[in-house]
């Protein structure tokens, strides 16, 4: 398999009509999970992907499994535990602000541990895609992830998005854990707020240098509306965002960005090309409700990038 991702997915309940949940008439179930979203994006772009996770022995677990399988992501390493599948509620207000309420404590995936991953499967992959969410789930999940990167071997490129969720842990816990994790990371994708949490407020160029010193040979910093800057093995540059997309649901943009980076690494694309593709995908996906629903196929992405001015999106 080209890419392995490890992480929790949950059922996301989104209220209808949009607005405050207290006025909801109904809730629509979606499937969401940062690593899974990226794997689905990669699978739609034509890459071979496999997801390692744990689900409950319940209907919500089945719902997730059905959706992920339908996206051509290999689920043969997903296990079941005698625990519940995680759930969260997602409220999107008309100004675009999103609020999530998690019901994931002690979930099946939070109970994952070292025994739940097959290191041979990971060693055979080209890319191991991880996020900080898994580090924040529980001490056993954190230990499992450290073990995975320690044993992955030099031939596996570890790509990591800190994805710091402050509803999951404090800034201090996130900083301490992630800084200890970074020496095992080959390619780091971080947002501006994450730089502030991990390194303190500093200019993007200084942050690139600091992350390189911590051991990440490739670093991409997402600067929101200002695009992204990167340092890939000493090759530095910046990429502007494509023209504004009409944003409907911003959640999942970071996972789409990550899919662009991983896809570019697998295709041996130049740094400016792959970061450009990541910026485009990150914007493109926000036009759709749901974290991964709007991911394009490779052909559709190429066409959309070429004809963007004419695209009626």
Closest residue to ligand KDG, based on beta-carbon distance: 32
Round to whole Å and give the CA distance between 289 and 270: 31
Q: Give the nearest distance from C-beta 291 to ligand KDG in angstroms.
A: 5
Q: Of the candidates 182, 279, 198, which has an alpha carbon nearest to the alpha carbon of residue 237?
A: 279
Task: Give the helix/strand (H/E) hosting 222.
Answer: strand 218-222
Sign, Cα dihedral of 269, 120, 254, 70? positive
Angle between helices 171-181 and 139-151 in degrees, nearest 10? 20
Q: Give the nearest distance from C-beta 269 to ligand KDG in angstroms.
A: 23
Q: Closest CB to ligand KDG among 98 and 303?
A: 98
Task: Give the helix/strand (H/E) hosting 175.
Answer: helix 171-181
Round to whole Å and give the CA distance between 239 and 250: 20
Q: Give the nearest distance from C-beta 282 to ligand KDG in angstroms.
A: 11
Strands 218-222 and 187-191: what pairing? parallel
Residue 190 and residue 219 in contact, taking contact as beta carbons nearer than 8 Å = yes
Q: Is 161 buried (19+), middle (13-18) or exposed (0-12) by CB count in 10 A?
A: buried
Q: Which DSSP letter does residue 152 get?
A: S
Q: Closest CB to ligand KDG among 37 and 241?
A: 37
Q: Give the nearest distance from C-beta 32 to ligand KDG in angstroms.
A: 3
Q: Give the nearest distance from C-beta 309 to ligand KDG in angstroms.
A: 29
| Catalytically active residues, by annotation | 255
Q: Closest CB to ligand KDG among 5 and 214?
A: 5
Residues contributing to the site for ligand KDG (CB under 6 A): 32-34, 37, 133, 165, 251-252, 254-255, 291
Q: Closest CB to ligand KDG among 33 and 276?
A: 33
Q: How many residues does the chain have?
A: 313
Q: Closest CB to ligand KDG among 214 and 256?
A: 256
């Amino acid at each position: 398999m080209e890419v392995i991702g490890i992480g929790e997915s949950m059922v996301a309940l989104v209220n209808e009509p949009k607005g405050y949940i207290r006025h909801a008439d109904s809730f629509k179930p979606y499937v969401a999970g940062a690593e899974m979203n990226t794997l689905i994006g990669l699978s739609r772009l034509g890459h071979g992907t496999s997801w390692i996770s744990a689900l409950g022995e319940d209907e919500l677990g089945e719902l997730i499994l059905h959706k992920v399988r339908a996206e051509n992501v290999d689920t043969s390493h997903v296990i079941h535990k005698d625990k519940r599948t995680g759930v969260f509620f997602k409220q999107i207000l008309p100004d675009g602000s999103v609020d999530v309420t998690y019901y994931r404590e002690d979930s099946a995936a939070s109970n994952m541990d070292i025994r739940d991953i097959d290191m041979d499967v990971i060693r055979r992959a080209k890319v191991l895609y991880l996020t900080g969410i898994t580090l924040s789930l529980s001490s056993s999940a954190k230990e499992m992830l450290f073990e995975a990167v320690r044993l992955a071997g030099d031939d596996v490129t570890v790509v990591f998005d800190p994805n710091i969720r402050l509803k999951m842990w404090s800034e201090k816990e996130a900083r301490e854990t992630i800084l200890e994790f970074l020496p095992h990371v080959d390619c780091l994708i971080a947002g501006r707020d994450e730089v502030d949490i991990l390194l303190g407020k500093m200019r993007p160029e200084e942050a690139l240098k600091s992350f390189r010193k911590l051991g990440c040979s490739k670093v991409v910093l997402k600067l929101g509306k200002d695009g992204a800057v990167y340092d890939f093995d000493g090759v530095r540059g910046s990429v502007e965002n494509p023209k504004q997309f009409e944003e409907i649901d911003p959640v999942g943009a970071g996972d789409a960005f990550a899919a662009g980076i991983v896809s570019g690494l697998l295709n041996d694309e130049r740094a400016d090309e792959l970061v450009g593709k990541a910026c485009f995908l990150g914007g493109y996906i926000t036009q759709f409700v749901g974290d991964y629903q709007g991911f394009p196929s490779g052909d559709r992405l190429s066409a959309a990038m070429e004809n963007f001015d004419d695209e009626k999106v």
